[in-house]
Amino acid sequence: MTAPTPQDFTEATRWRRRPRPTFAWTAQVVTGVLLLVLLTVHMVAQHFLVPEGLRGYAQVVAWLRNPVVFTLEALLLVAVSWHAMAGVHAIMLDLGLRGRTERIVAAVLGYVMVATIVYGLWLLYMIAFRSPHP
């Protein structure tokens, strides 16, 4: 039997022992930054640049028919959905959710996120391209 070797906790090796950020955490940081940018663009374009202060339905339809605007609004929807579900999941983990219960909650949150994104993209498409307004 070999004798246990003392662990090396010098500054050069300490950084290797730190846990790596997970994909979910990294994606939540990225979506947080995206939310700051996309919400600013959305608020400025929808509320501050409009002479009346708020676009009417026909103006919103015309605005959403622009492919760049449609893409930005869709990206905003995906970013909000991911950020919200990852945040709820992180809160559940902080409250002590572990094991099978954590996997079930994560799956339910994933399904809710996918359903939210699919429904939101469908609704965005229907308003932008299937609306009777010009």
Q: Which helix (H) or strand (E) holds 27?
A: helix 23-43
Residue 70 belongs to some domain of the structure:
yes
Q: Does residue 6 sit within a domain?
A: no
- The confidence score (pLDDT) of residue 116 equals 97
Are residues 24 and 89 in contact, defined by beta-carbon separation less than 8 angstroms? yes
- In a domain, residue 2? The reply is no
Q: Is residue 4 part of a domain?
A: no
User: What is the residue range of 81's domain?
Assistant: 22-129
| Residue 16 lies inside a defined structural domain of this protein | no
Query: Residue 70: is its pLDDT beyond 90?
Result: yes
Q: What CATH number did the domain enclosing 92 receive?
A: 1.20.1300.10
pLDDT exceeds cutoff 60 at 11: no
Residue 131 CB: number of other CB atoms within 10 A? Answer: 15
pLDDT per position as a tens digit, 16-47: 555 666 888 899 999 999 999 999 999 998 88
| Average pLDDT value for residue range 72-90 | 95
The reply to whether 57 falls in a domain is yes
Asked if 120 and 81 count as a contact pair (C-beta separation under 8 A), the reply is yes
Q: Is the pTM of this model over 0.85?
A: no
Decide if 28 is inside a domain: yes
pLDDT above 80 for 78? yes
Does any domain span residue 30?
A: yes
For the chain, how many structural domains are there in total?
A: 1
CA dist 62 and 50 (Å) reads: 13
